[in-house]
């Protein structure tokens, strides 16, 4: 049974971690913003910038079947990229690859969260598009007590499966919240307010994240370019939101002004 303390009621901008946090807050919010900086939502932003529609999928072992049924290309593991399958969760690989019309992008964190939320808009945010996402949310009239939104820091997982809070996702979520606050949102939960304050207190965010555990892990495996792309602060104006099961850019979508004007189910988590 959900209670007020678990849902951060009555605040307009709320913040939580991981899949459990997303499903708990989704019951009371008009939209969910998923933040998985290294690398799902950064990869989504790069793909959407290139004109791709990105289909989230939580499980790699059955992703090939899902991609065939969806008429989409499949993103493989970072180390499995080939000429035949040049797409992966690596933003750098996606930037080099030819644009696929539809791309299935499996991931156990951001993609799993995106796939689990249904019936309300799900927006993919990262450090590349945080300001644009914040502005778009305010344009919809969301982030208020009457139309609350939840920002979800995806986090990583320890080898045993437990959630590992990751500072890159904390600050990625904080960047969206700071953009909302700068745009006039003033009903921040204590969790959201704490993130916003920590974000505003960091003088060199890229340097901080480069030294984080997640960034050092990627760099040690030869994927330092993915970290570089993730730290392209506000380089993208795209607002990827789930539309008919795929992330598409709401800034360029022809029906965005009508289909996403309010907290209805027009933009959905999964069909």
Beta bridge partners of 157: 163
Q: How much is the average pLDDT of 111-123?
A: 95
Cis peptide before 7 (omega within 30 of 0): no
Q: What is the pLDDT of residue 39?
A: 94
CATH 3.90.1560.10 fits 12-257, yes or no: yes
Q: What is the pLDDT of residue 253?
A: 67
For the stretch 99-115, pLDDT in tens is: 999 999 999 999 999 99
- What is the total residue count of the chain? 271
Q: What is the pLDDT of residue 259?
A: 40
2 pLDDT band (50/70/90 cuts)?
A: low
CA nearest neighbour of 25 among 148, 128, 159, 200: 148
Distance CA 262, CA 179 (A): 20
Helix (H) or strand (E) holding 124: strand 122-125
Q: Is 135 exposed, middle or buried (0-12, 13-18, 19+ CB in 10 A)?
A: middle
Residue spans per domain, the chain: 12-257
| Contact in structure between 23 and 255 (CB atoms under 8 Å) | no
* pLDDT above 70 (res 268): no
**φ, ψ (nearest 5 deg) of residue 212:** -70, 160
For the stretch 155-200, pLDDT in tens is: 999 998 899 999 999 999 999 999 999 999 999 999 999 999 999 9
């Amino acid at each position: 049974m959900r209670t007020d303390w678990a849902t951060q009621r009555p605040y307009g901008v709320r913040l939580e971690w991981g899949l459990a946090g997303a499903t708990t807050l989704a019951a009371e919010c008009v939209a969910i913003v998923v933040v998985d900086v290294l690398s799902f939502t950064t990869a989504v932003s790069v793909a959407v910038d290139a004109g791709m529609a990105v289909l989230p999928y939580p499980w790699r072992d059955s992703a090939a079947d899902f991609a065939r049924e969806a008429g989409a290309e499949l993103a493989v593991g970072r180390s499995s990229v080939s000429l035949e399958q040049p797409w992966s969760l690596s933003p750098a690989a996606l930037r080099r690859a030819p644009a696929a019309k539809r791309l299935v992008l499996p991931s156990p964190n951001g993609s799993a969260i995106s796939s689990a939320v249904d019936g309300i808009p799900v927006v993919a945010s990262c450090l590349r598009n945080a300001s644009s996402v914040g502005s778009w949310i305010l344009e919809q009239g969301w982030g208020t007590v009457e139309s609350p939104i939840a920002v979800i820091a995806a986090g990583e997982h320890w080898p045993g499966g437990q959630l590992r809070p990751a500072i890159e996702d904390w600050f990625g979520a904080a960047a969206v919240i700071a953009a909302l606050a700068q745009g006039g949102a003033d009903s921040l939960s204590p969790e959201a307010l704490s993130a916003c304050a920590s974000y505003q207190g960091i003088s060199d965010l890229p340097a901080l994240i480069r030294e984080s555990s997640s960034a050092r892990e990627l760099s040690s495996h030869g994927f330092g370019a993915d970290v570089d792309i993730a730290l392209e602060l506000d380089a993208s104006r795209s607002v990827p939101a789930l539309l008919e099961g795929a992330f598409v850019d709401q800034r360029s979508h022809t029906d965005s002004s009508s289909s996403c004007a309010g907290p209805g189910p027009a933009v959905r988590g999964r069909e």
